[in-house]
Structure 1
Amino acid sequence: MQESIESRLKWLLRLTLLGTLLTILVILVGAWTRLVDAGLGCPDWPGCYGRLVVPSSEYAAMRHPDVPLDASKAWVEMAHRYIATLLGMLVIGAVTLGWSLRKRHQYPWRTSLLLLAVIIVQGAFGAFTVTLKLWPQVVTLHLLGGFSVLILFLWLHLRLRGVARQKALGPKRTGLWWGIAAGLLVLQLALGGWVTSNYAGIACQGIPTCNGQWWPGMDIKEGFHLTQTVGPNYLHGQLHAEARTAIHFIHRLGAVLLGLSLAILLYRYWHYRALRRVLGGVMSIFCLQVILGALNVLMWLPLWLALIHTAGAVFLAVALLLAWWQWRLESGDILAAHVDENDRAGRVSTGLSK
C-alpha cells in the first residue's frame, strides 16, 4: 500500500512538473499568436472553419466567405489550441491520479480542484477571445488566466514535493511585503496584457521620457475605459493615440512600483542566506525585464524581442513564487526548531521535578 502511494506521488510530481513547463509553452505560443496577428486566424471555435485541422482555401471560402483564409496564421492559432488542449488533459490526469490521495495528510487536493476550475474557465476565455473578436478585456483576462494556471501548477508541484519529503511549511500568513510585491506583480501583468491587447507597445517613444515629455499628454479615462463596446473587430486596436499613451505610461509607472517593492523585499530578508540568493534572482530577472522593455521601445517592438519580454514576465512570476516557497520553508524550519527546543526544555523540566 505504501509503495502504491509513493508511486502515485512520483507520477504526480512528474505530471505537475510537465504541466508547469507546458503551461509556459502555452503562454509563449499564445503571445506569439497575438504578436503575428493570428488571434483571429480561425474565425470560429473550437474548430477552424468548422474543421479540427486547417482546411483548404476553397472549403474555408464556402464556410466563411467573409473571412478569407490565411493558412499560416490559422495554423499558428490551431497549434496554440492543440497545446492548450493537451494542457487541459494533463490537469484532468493530475486530478484523477490524486483522487485516491485526497484524504492524505497535507495533500493539496483543494489546489488540484482549483486548478481544474481555472483551466475550464481558461478554455471558455479562449473561445470568447475569438467570438468577441479580441475584445481587450477578454484578451487580458485570458492572459491572466494563463499565469494563474502556471502558478497553480507550480504550487501544486511544490506542495507535492513537500508531501513526498514530509517537509513542513511555515504559517499560511502571506506577510505584508510578500503580499504587496505579489499584488503589484499581478497588477503589472494585467497592465502588460492591457498594453498588448490595445496595441500600445510603442505608444510612448523614448526612454526614460515618453514622447519627449516626463508627463506626456494622455487620456487616462479612455485608456482604461473597461466597458468598451463589444462587437467591433479589435485587431490592431480601436483606441486613439493619447489613450494608448496613457496605457503605456501607466505600465511604466507600475514597473517602478514593482521594482521598489522587490527591492524592499530583498532588503527585508537579506539576513536569510537562502532567501538572499533566490530574491537576488528575482531582482535580476526584474532588471532584465526593464532592459527588455526599454529595448522594445527603442527598437520599435520587434517580434522576437517582444516574445522574450513575455518570457521574462513568466520567469519573474515563477521566481517570485519560488522565493515565497523558500520563505515558507524557512519559516517551517524555524517553527519546527522552536517546537523541538520547547519539547526538550519540557522534558528536562519534568526530569528535574522528579
Structure 2
Amino acid sequence: MQKSKDRRLKWLLHLTLLGTLLTIVVILVGAWTRLVDAGLGCPDWPGCYGRLLVPDSEHAALRHPDVPLDASKAWVEMIHRYIASLLGVLVISTVVLGWPLRKTDQYPWRISVLLLATIVVQGAFGAFTVTLKLWPQVVTLHLLGGISVLLLFFWLHLRLKCVVRQKKLSTKRSSIWWGLAAGLLVIQLGLGGWVTSNYAGIACQGIPACNGQWWPNMDISEGFHLTQTVGPNYLHGQLHAEARTAIHFIHRLGAVVLGLSLVILWCRYRHHPALFRALNIVIALFFLQVVLGAANVLLWLPLWLALIHTAGAVLLTVSMLWAWWQWRLRHENVVVAQSDSYLTHHAQSM
C-alpha cells in the first residue's frame, strides 16, 4: 500500500513539473500567435473551418466564404490549440492520479481541483477569444488565466514535495509587503495584457519620455473603458492614438511602482541567505524586463524581442512565487528550530 502511494506521488511530482514547463510553452506559443496576428487564423472553435486539421482553400471558402484562408496563420493557431489541449489532458491526469491520495495528510487536493477548474475556464476563454474576435477584455483575461494555470501547477509541484518529504508548511500569514508586491505584480501583468490586446506596444515613442513629453497627451477614460462594444473585429485594435498612449504610459508607471515594492521587499529580507538569493533573482528579472521593454520601444517592437519580453514576465512571476515559497520554508525552519530548542532545554531541566 505504501509503495503504491509513493509511486503515485513520484508520478505526480513528474507530471506537475512537466505541466509547469508545458504551461510556459503554451503561454509563449499563445503570445507568438497574437504577435503574428494569427489569433483569428481559424474563424471558428475548436476546429478550423469545421475541421480538426487546417483544410484546403476550397473547403474553407465553402465553410466561411467571408474569411479567406491564410494557411500559415491557421496552422499557428491550431498548433497553439493542440498544445493547449495536451495541457488539459495533463491536468486531468494529475487529478485522476491524485484521487486515491485526496485524504492523505497534507495532500493538496484542493489545489488540484482548483487547477482543473481553472483550465476549464481557460478553455472557455480560448473559445471566446475567437468568437468575440479578439475582444481585449477576453484576450487579457486569457493571458492572466494562463499565468494562473502556471502558478497553480508550480505551487502544486512544490506542495507535493512537502508531502513526499513529510514536511508541514507554516500557516503564518504573509507580511503586508509580500501581499503588496504580489498584488502590484498581478496588476502589472494585467496592464501588460491590456497593452498587447489593444496594440499599444509602441504608442509611446522614446525612453524615458513618451512622445517627447514627460506627461504626454492621453485619453485615460477611453484607454481603460472596459465596456467596449462586443462585435467589431479587434485585430490591430480599435482605439485612437491618445487612448493607446494612456495604456502604454500607465503600464510604464506600473513598472516603476512594482519596482519600488520589490526593492522594499529585497531590503526587508536581504539578511536571510535563502531569501536573499531568491529575491536577487526576482530583482534581476525585473530589471531585465525593464531593459527589454525599453528595447521593444526603441526597436519598434520586433517579434522576437516582444516574445522574450513575454517570457521575462512569465519567469518573473514564477520567481516571485519561488521567493515566497522560500519565505514560507524559512519561517517553518525557524519554528522547528525553536521547538527543538525548547524540548532540549526542557529535557535538561528535568
TM-score by length of 2: 0.99
Indicate the residue corresponding to 2:217 in structure 1: 217
Q: Report what 2:287 is aligned to.
A: 287
Aligned residues: 350
Displacement of 1:338 after TM fit?
1.3
CA-CA distance at 1:172 after TM superposition:
4.2
Q: Distance in 2 between matches of 1:219 and 1:172?
A: 44
Q: Output one character per residue of 1:58-95: Cα deviation in whole Å (capped at 9) or x when no partner.
A: 00000000000000000000000000000000000000
1:215-261 deviations in Å (ceiling 9; x for gaps): 00000000000000000000000000000000000000000011001
Spell out, residue by residue over 1:182-208, the C-alpha distance to the aligned partner (whole angstroms, 9 max, x if none).
100000000000000000000000000
Aligned counterpart, 2:162: 162
CA distance in 1, matches of 2:136, 2:343: 57
Cα distance, 1:348 vs structure 2: 3.5
How far did 1:343 drift? 2.4
Distance 2:148 2:175 in 1: 20
Residues 183-332 of structure 1 aligned to structure 2 (within 5 Å)? 183-332=183-332
Question: 2:127, 2:273 → 1: CA distance?
Answer: 46
Distance 2:208 2:185 in 1: 21
What one-letter code is carried by the residue in structure 1 that aligns with 2:15? L
Tell me the distance in 2 between the aligned counterparts of 1:171 and 1:50: 50
Secondary structure (helix, strand or coil) at the match of 2:173 reads: coil
For the Cα contact (< 8 Å) 1:16–1:153, is it kept in 2?
Answer: yes
Measured in 1, the distance between the counterparts of 2:47 and 2:219 equals 39
1:37 aligns with 2:37: yes
Secondary structure of the residue aligned to 1:212 is coil
| Superposed CA offset, 1:116-164 (max 9, x none) | 0000000000000000000000000000000000000000000001111
Q: Which residue in the other structure is 2:175 paired with?
A: 175
Structure 1 residue 112 and structure 2 residue 112: aligned? Answer: yes
How far apart, CA to CA, are the structure 1 residues paired with 2:336 and 2:206? 53
How many Å separate the matches in 2 of 1:16 and 1:299?
A: 38
- CA drift of 1:165 comes to 1.1
Name the CA distance, whole Å, in 1 between partners of 2:18 and 2:172. 26
Counterpart Cα distance in 2 of 1:174 and 1:119: 27
Aligned to 1:71: 71
Q: Which residue in the other structure is 1:53 paired with?
A: 53
1:168 positional shift? 2.6
Contact 1:168 1:329 in 2 (8 A): no
- Partners of 2:32 and 2:5 in 1: how far apart? 40
Residues 14-67 of structure 1, C-alpha deviations (whole Å, 9 max, x = no match): 000000000000000000000000000000000000000000000000000000
Moved more, 249-258 or 162-171: 162-171
Q: What is the alpha-carbon distance in structure 2 between the residues aligned to residue 172 and residue 45 of structure 1?
A: 45
- The answer (yes or no) to whether the contact 2:106–2:168 under 8 Å persists in 1 is no
C-alpha separation in 1, matches of 2:91 and 2:339: 37
8 Å CA contact 1:111, 1:156 repeated in 2: yes
Residues 126 and 142, structure 2, Cα contact 8 Å, conserved in 1:
yes
State the SS of the aligned residue for 1:177: helix
CA offset digits 1:99-120 (Å, max 9, x no partner): 0111111100000000000000
CA contact (8 A) 1:168 1:333 kept: no
User: What's the CA shift for 1:347?
Assistant: 3.1
**Quick check: 1:296–1:302 contact (8 Å CA) kept in 2?**
yes
- The amino acid that maps onto 1:286 is F
Taking only the aligned residue pairs, the percentage that are identical comes to 77
Superposition RMSD in Å = 0.7
TM-score, L = length of structure 1: 0.98
| Pair 1:294–1:141, CA change in 2 (3 A) | same
* Counterpart Cα distance in 1 of 2:291 and 2:108: 38
Q: State the alpha-carbon separation in 1 of the partners of residues 346 and 67 from structure 2.
A: 78
Contact 1:171 1:331 in 2 (8 A): no
